[in-house]
């Protein structure tokens, strides 16, 4: 366990000793005695927060909804600086799920979360409080991580079918390029029409392809700002037209300026909790994502109009 200090707030942070048995699952444990209002910065993953301590985190959104305890939220939650968390004596495990495996683990598509923070009790029913009790009963972080990994692996194995291979491949191309992939060309690379890719991607991952590109690009840029790099350098390297473009994007995602975001504890703690920030495993699609080759998937023939 490591200690992260931000202002007067002290976080104890625990990381698993080994990767999850499910590709696309990463997790970290947190213990915070007094968590002041914390801006939830949008992230390109589905977030599952499982609390088990004496206190419970409280999450508020722009619509005035308030959730206590364990929650789940889709990718990009918190856009515009709309979601804040706080609490005392908080102990929890945060799980980040790649959107391509989230449906199998959660039982619902990220699109079904509809951009809201959902109480885990509403999603998993009686299983949610049982998980909380089991996390409370074990005495070490390693045991908690092992318990959750077994649970997530079991749910993944018996859950709904995965997303289309084409959708998964496009997602990983976007993430692997850090948001620099040209979306218009991705549909052609997998042999789909643009309309079909947009529809399937949105219904299965909860984001449009261009929205995914913007979110992944922002996430990369925001972490570079936190690392102390200048906004002009970050804008140039991260694919923004100029520094004003970066400023507008950061404001849209967080409701704050790049200078303010550079000091956000939600982002600063990532280097301890997720040293690699959840780099996704490559899916088995018959293609090599590192080389940019498209997946070898069977597709029905499409009759094109002539004349």
Average pLDDT over residues 192-197: 92
Q: What percent of the chain has pLDDT over 70?
A: 90
> Which pLDDT value is given to residue 307?
41
Does the structure show a pLDDT above 90 at 296?
A: no
> Please, what is the end-to-end C-alpha distance for the chain in angstroms?
68
Interhelix angle 209-226/183-190, rounded to 10 degrees, is 130
Q: How does residue 287 score in pLDDT terms, banded at 50, 70 and 90?
A: very low
Whether 6 has a pLDDT exceeding 90, the answer reads no
Please indicate, yes or no, whether residues 130 and 249 belong to a single structural domain of this protein: no
pLDDT of residue 254: 94
Same-domain pairing of 284 and 174: yes
Total number of residues shown for the chain: 307
pTM of the model: 0.87
126, 158, 190 - which closes a domain = 158
Model confidence over 229-262: pLDDT tens digits? 999 999 999 999 999 999 999 999 999 999 999 9
Q: Which residues, listed in sequence order, are joined to residue 85 by a DSSP beta bridge?
A: 38, 59
Is 278 within a domain?
yes
Q: State both tokens at 158.
A: 């018996």
- Cα(184)–Cα(199) distance, integer angstroms: 14
Residues 130 and 170 both lie in one domain: no
d(CA 79, CA 215) in angstroms, rounded, equals: 10
Please give the pLDDT value at position 277.
54
Do 146 and 185 fall into the same domain? no
Better pLDDT: 284 or 180: 180
Residues 126 and 173 in one domain: no
Residue 291: pLDDT band by 50, 70, 90 thresholds? very low
Q: Which of 280, 29, 285 is nearest to 147 (CA)?
A: 29
pLDDT of residue 143: 97
Output the CA angle 63-68-71, nearest 5 degrees: 85
Of 225, 268, 233, whose CA–CA distance to 250 is shortest? Answer: 225
Q: Could you tell me which residue, 262 or 63, shows the higher pLDDT?
A: 262
Using an 8 Å Cβ cutoff, are 221 and 277 in contact?
no
> What letter would DSSP give residue 81?
G
From 158, 181, 203, give the residue that closes a domain: 158
- Tally of CA atoms within 13 A in the half-sphere of 205 that contains its CB: 33
pLDDT digits (tens, 9 = 90+) for 111-169: 998 778 999 999 999 999 999 999 999 989 999 999 999 999 999 999 998 899 999 99
Q: Please, which pLDDT band fits residue 276 given cuts at 50, 70 and 90?
A: low
Residue 154's pLDDT is what? 96
Residue 132 Cα to chain centre, angstroms: 22
pLDDT band at 288 (very low <50, low <70, confident <90, very high): very low
Q: What is the CATH number of the domain that holds 259?
A: 1.10.10.60
Mean pLDDT of the chain: 87
Distance CA 278, CA 169 (A): 17
Flag whether 305 is in a domain: no
The span from the CA of 65 to the CA of 84, in Å, is 11
Alpha helix locations (H) across the chain?
Answer: 99-106, 120-124, 127-137, 141-158, 165-176, 183-190, 194-205, 209-226, 231-237, 243-254, 258-261, 265-268, 270-273
Distance CA 211, CA 215 (A): 6
Among 57-61, 115-119, 229-233, 273-277, whose mean pLDDT is lowest?
273-277
- Examine the domain organization and report whether 6 and 149 are in the same domain: yes
List the domain range (segments joined by +) for residue 237.
165-291
Are 61 and 135 part of one and the same domain? yes
CA distances from 285 to 46, 130, 167, 291, 302 (A): 22, 36, 11, 13, 21
CB-CB contact of 205 with 113 (8 Å): no
- Domain for residue 197, yes or no? yes
Q: Which long-range contacts (CB under 8 A, 24 or more apart) does 11-16 make?
A: 11/265, 11/269, 13/269, 13/272, 13/273, 14/141, 14/145, 15/272, 15/273, 15/275, 16/142, 16/145, 16/149
Residue recorded with tokens 């077994």? 150
Number of domains in the chain: 2
Evaluate if residue 306 carries a pLDDT over 70: no
Write down the pLDDT at residue 234.
96
């Amino acid at each position: 366990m490591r200690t992260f200090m931000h202002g007067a707030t002290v976080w104890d942070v625990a990381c698993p000793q080994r990767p999850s048995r499910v590709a696309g699952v990463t997790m970290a444990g947190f213990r915070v005695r007094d968590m002041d209002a914390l801006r939830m910065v949008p992230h390109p993953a589905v977030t599952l927060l499982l609390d088990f301590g004496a206190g419970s985190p409280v999450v508020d959104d722009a619509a005035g909804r308030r959730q206590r305890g364990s929650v789940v939220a889709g990718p990009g939650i918190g856009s515009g600086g709309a979601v804040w968390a706080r609490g005392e004596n908080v102990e929890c495990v945060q799980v980040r799920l790649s959107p391509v495996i989230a449906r199998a683990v959660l039982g619902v598509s990220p699109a079904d979360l509809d951009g809201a923070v959902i109480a885990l009790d509403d999603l998993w029913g009686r299983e949610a409080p049982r998980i909380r009790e089991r996390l409370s009963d074990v005495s070490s972080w390693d045991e908690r991580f092992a318990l959750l990994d077994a649970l997530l692996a079991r749910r993944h194995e018996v859950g709904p079918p995965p997303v289309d291979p084409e959708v998964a491949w496009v997602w990983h191309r976007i993430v692997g390029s850090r948001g620099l992939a040209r979306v218009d060309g991705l549909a052609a690379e997998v042999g789909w029409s643009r309309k079909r890719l947009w529809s399937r991607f949105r219904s299965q991952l909860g984001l449009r392809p261009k929205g995914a590109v913007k979110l992944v690009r922002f996430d990369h840029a925001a972490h570079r700002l936190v690392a102390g790099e200048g906004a002009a350098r970050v804008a140039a390297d991260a694919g923004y037209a100029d520094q004003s473009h970066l400023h507008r994007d950061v404001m849209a995602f967080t409701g704050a300026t790049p200078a303010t975001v550079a000091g956000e504890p939600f982002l600063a703690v990532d280097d301890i909790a997720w040293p690699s920030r959840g780099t996704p495993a490559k899916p088995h699609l018959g293609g090599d994502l590192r080389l940019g080759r498209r997946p070898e998937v069977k597709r029905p023939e499409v009759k094109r109009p002539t004349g």
